[in-house]
Amino acid sequence: MLIKSAVDIPPSEITDPDLFARRRHFIQGAAASALASGFGLPALAAAAPQRGEKFPDIRKSQWTVDEKLTPYESVTTYNNFYEFGPDKDDPAKHAHRLKSRPWTITVEGEVKRPQTFAIEDVLKWAPLEERIYRFRCVEGWSMVVPWIGFSFSEIARRVEITGNAKYVEFVSLADAEQMPYVRVPLLDWPYVEGLRIDEAMHPLTLLAAGLYGEVMPKQNGAPLRLIVPWKYGFKSAKSIVKIRFVRDMPRSSWMKSAPQEYGFYSNVNPEVPHPRWSQAQERRLGEFLKRKTLPFNGYAEQVAALYAGMDLRRNY
């Protein structure tokens, strides 16, 4: 009998095979249509991921799990970042095109002090913490990552949100010169995600600027991304350029693209299957056997109260 090691497992086996085939077929068709329509994708020069600059004086956080870390190589070479391509290895190959400096983040909407901040200033607001979080993708794979960052609530404190702010909208960079697949209508660019205000203000919600003690790799969402560990990974917006505090629920990119598959809340719930596959199990990157998916990705004790009385099947 042939025994496969973790390093022998191709992406088509880590992601559900049927999903993998369907996704590739869809993306290839969309890319071909874009080329035929005159979008034209430039030649992409691949560059191997490089280790980043170390952050000094990182403190440990109480918001962490004691679990085996997913290898750095897996975390940085198996990603969803459609602005750089639809396949899992595309971001690591192509994200070197991203210019993460200079970088600004605009904060506006239902706030008393709307402002635009340089990333260098943002990183001085609060001591950077290492938080080891479980991270679960809707496609069925997961990882354990030592993220570096600070609680999102620090942003709200800086701009003084008003009582009218019920939700937070996150907008990612969409620059076709740096992100060539923005020229392909895979999604309604720019990428948009959102949280309810109490979700955003929860101490687990992290603005991450790095991982493994280092500056955030470009393929993982440099220079600043969101991490919401009890939700599926697509809720954690990458390369954020705008944050808006709003009255009404934002309509996210995936809600626009496939509302029957991707709801606003997107809490990890093993009892609610995706229309095309089960969510009851997951495969941790670097491991061969699957494991049971935990409600709220294992953070039920901390966050279940946010959804008291809600029908989490209806509000998927």
pLDDT band at 235 (very low <50, low <70, confident <90, very high): very high
For 139-167, the pLDDT digits (tens) are 999 999 999 999 999 999 999 999 999 99
Look at 27 and 110; give whichever has higher pLDDT.
110
The average confidence (pLDDT) of the chain is 89
- Whose tokens are 């009892």? That residue is 271
Look at 28 and 312; give whichever has higher pLDDT.
312
What is the model's pLDDT at position 111? 98
pLDDT band at 18 (very low <50, low <70, confident <90, very high): very low
Interval 194-220 mean pLDDT = 98
Rg (CA), the chain: 19
> From CA 140, how far away is CA 78, in angstroms rounded?
13
- pTM, two decimals, is 0.88
What is the model's pLDDT at position 4? 39
Strand ranges for 110-224 from DSSP E: 115-118, 129-136, 141-151, 167-172, 192-196, 206-211, 214-215
Amino acid at 75: V
The set of residues, in sequence order, having a beta carbon less than 8 Å from that of 8 and lying 6+ positions away, is none
Interval 129-142 mean pLDDT = 98
- Distance of alpha carbon 191 from the chain centroid: 11
> From CA 6, how far away is CA 267, in angstroms rounded?
28
The set of residues, in sequence order, having a beta carbon less than 8 Å from that of 156 and lying 6+ positions away, is 200, 201, 245
In the predicted structure, residue 29 carries a pLDDT above the cut 90:
no
The region of weakest confidence among 34-38, 97-101, 133-137, 163-167 is 34-38
State the DSSP code for 14: H
pLDDT band at 38 (very low <50, low <70, confident <90, very high): very low
> From CA 296, how far away is CA 231, in angstroms rounded?
7
pLDDT band at 292 (very low <50, low <70, confident <90, very high): very high
- 3-state class (DSSP) for residue 255: helix
> From CA 141, how far away is CA 135, in angstroms rounded?
9
- Whose tokens are 């309810």? That residue is 196
For 75-95, the pLDDT digits (tens) are 999 999 999 999 999 999 999
For 254-277, the pLDDT digits (tens) are 999 999 999 999 999 999 999 999
Place domain 6-307 in its CATH homologous superfamily. Oxidoreductase, molybdopterin-binding domain (3.90.420.10)
Q: How far apart are the first and last CA of the chain?
A: 41
Annotated domain spans of the chain:
6-307
What is the model's pLDDT at position 40? 52
| Contact between 232 and 255 (Cβ < 8 Å) | no
Look at 285 and 17; give whichever has higher pLDDT.
285
Between CA 210 and CA 200, with CA 53 as vertex, the angle to 5 degrees is 15
What is the model's pLDDT at position 52? 80
Buried b (16+ CB within 10 A) or exposed e, 267-288: bbbbebebeeeebeebbbbbbe
- Backbone φ and ψ of 186, nearest 5°: -70, -35
Share of the chain above pLDDT 70, in %: 84
pLDDT band at 10 (very low <50, low <70, confident <90, very high): very low
> From CA 92, how far away is CA 77, in angstroms rounded?
5
Look at 57 and 131; give whichever has higher pLDDT.
131
